[in-house]
Structure 1
Amino acid sequence: MNEFIILAIPFLGTSIGAAMVFFLKKQIAPKFEKLLLGFAAGVMIAASVWSLLIPSIEMAEKQHIIEWVPALVGFMAGIVFLLLLDTLIPHLHLESDKPEGLSLGASKMTMMLLAVTLHNIPEGMSVGVAFAGAAMEGSGITKAAALALAVGIAIQNFPEGAIISMPLCGEGIGKKKAFFYGVMSGVVEPIGGFITILIAGKISPILPYFLSFAAGAMLYVVVEELIPEAQNGEHSNIGTIGTAVGFALMMVLDVALG
C-alpha cells in the first residue's frame, strides 16, 4: 500500500461523513453531537500518545540523543504553531457566533470552513509523518502502524464530516453544495500529509521532532476546540463517554496493527 492510498483514507472518512447530508433530514441531535465530538477527541489523544510521542521517544533513543528532548521540543513547537494559526486565520466554530482570528471580512460560511480546515491540518501531518517513519529503516514505525493511524483518523473524520455539512444546510445552503464544502474541508489532510512526507522523509534526524510536533498540534485542537464543545451545556458526561470510547478504540488499533 503506497503513501497516496494511506493519505487518502482520512479524507475518505470526511467525505463519507459529509455525504450524510443526503440521508439525514434533520440536524444532528445535540447529545449525539457531544458524543461524536468526544469520540474525535479520544481518538486524537490516543493517536498523539501511541502513534506519535512514544515513537518519537523510541526513535530519539536509537539516535543516541536524550530521549525526551525531541518529544518536548517538537510537542511545544506544534502547540505554538497551531496557536499562531488559531490567532491569525479568521474562523468561526460551529456553536459560536463570535469569530476568532484576524478580522478580514470573510463570510460566516467561509469562517466555519476555515475552522474545520484549521482542525484538519495536524491530522494530515500526523499521518504523513507516520508514513515517512514507516518508509525509513530503523525508525521503529511500521506501515501497519501508519495504516492504523490513518484508519483511526478516518473513523473520527466520519462524524466530523457530518457535523460540518449538516449545519451548513441549516444556514440555507443546498445539500449538494454543503456536501461539496464538507469534502473540501478535508482536502488539506492529504495535501498536508504529502508535504510532511517530503520534508520529514528526507532528513531522518528530524523525524522524532516531526512526530512530536504533530502530536502537539493535535493536542492543541483537542484542548482548544473538541473538549470544550463536547462539554458545553448539559449532558457533558456524554462527551466524556465518547472520549473514552474513542481513546480505547485508537489505542487498540495502534497496538493491534502497529
Structure 2
Amino acid sequence: MSHALLDDLRDESEELDRLVAPLEPDRWAAPTPAPRWTIAHQIAHLAWTDAAALLAVTAPEAFAAHTAEAAKAPDTFVDQGAEEGAAGPPHELLARWREGRERLQHALRAAPPGARFPWYGPPMSAGSMATARLMETWAHGQDVADALGAVREPTARLRHVAWIGVRARDYAYAVRGLTPPAGPFRVELTAPDGTELWTYGPEDAGQRVTGPALDFCLLVTQRAHRDDVAVRAEGAEADRWLDIAQAFAGPAGPGRAAKGASQ
C-alpha cells in the first residue's frame, strides 16, 4: 500500500480536527444534518470506527467477538456507539479521536504487504481500510461543516471517495434487493482543480455519468440530494444508479432531502 494514501487520510482527519478543535463545549451539541446526531456524535462515530478498525488490524479474534455482539443489535449498534462516545466532555472525545486515529495510522503503516483484515462485510486490505476511513472522515466532516456553516475547499483527496463510490455501484443495487447491471459504466469526473479528468470504466460504455468530482462525492455519500448536484447520467441504468448510489456499507440510507423540499 502506498503511504501517500495514509498521508491523505491523516490530512483529511487534520482538516476536520481544525474545524472542531476551537469550538466551545456547547457548540459540540449543535445539530448536524444527520437526524439526532450532534457534532459530538459525528466525532464520536469516527473515533468508534477507528477503534474498531484498529481492533481488526491488531486483534482479529477480539474483532470477531466485537462483531458477534454487534450482530445482536444490527440496527442500533452504530448509533449506540456514537451516543456513548458523545456523552462525555468534548475535550476528552477530541483527545480519544486523535489518539485512536494516530494508533490506526501506525498499525496500517506496519501492516505486511498483502495482509487482509476482517470487517463487517468482506475482509479488507490495508489500502481498502485506509480508503474507507478517509471516505467516512470526509463524509462526516461534511456533516460537521454543514452544521457550522463552513465551506470546505475540495482537494484531490476526493479521488479516494470517488473511487469507492464507483466501486460500490453493485452494492447499492444489492442492498436494495435489486439486480446490478451486467456491464460497467463510464464515469468521468472533473477534479477539484478543474484541469484534470478522473475516469473509470471503458470509454465506449453505453451508460455514462459525468460531473464535478465534488458533486459526485456528495451524492454517493448521500450528503446532497441528486437535484442539488451537477452530476448527469446518460442511459437508463446510469440514471437509476444516481438515485440509489451509496459509497458506505450498511442499509440503504434515505439521503438528504432536496434543498427547498420542505418549503
User: How does the TM-score come out when normalised to structure 2?
Assistant: 0.31
Structure with greater strand share of residues: 2
User: How does the TM-score come out when normalised to structure 1?
Assistant: 0.31
Q: State the structure with bigger RCO (CA 8 A, min sep 6), 1 or 2.
A: 1
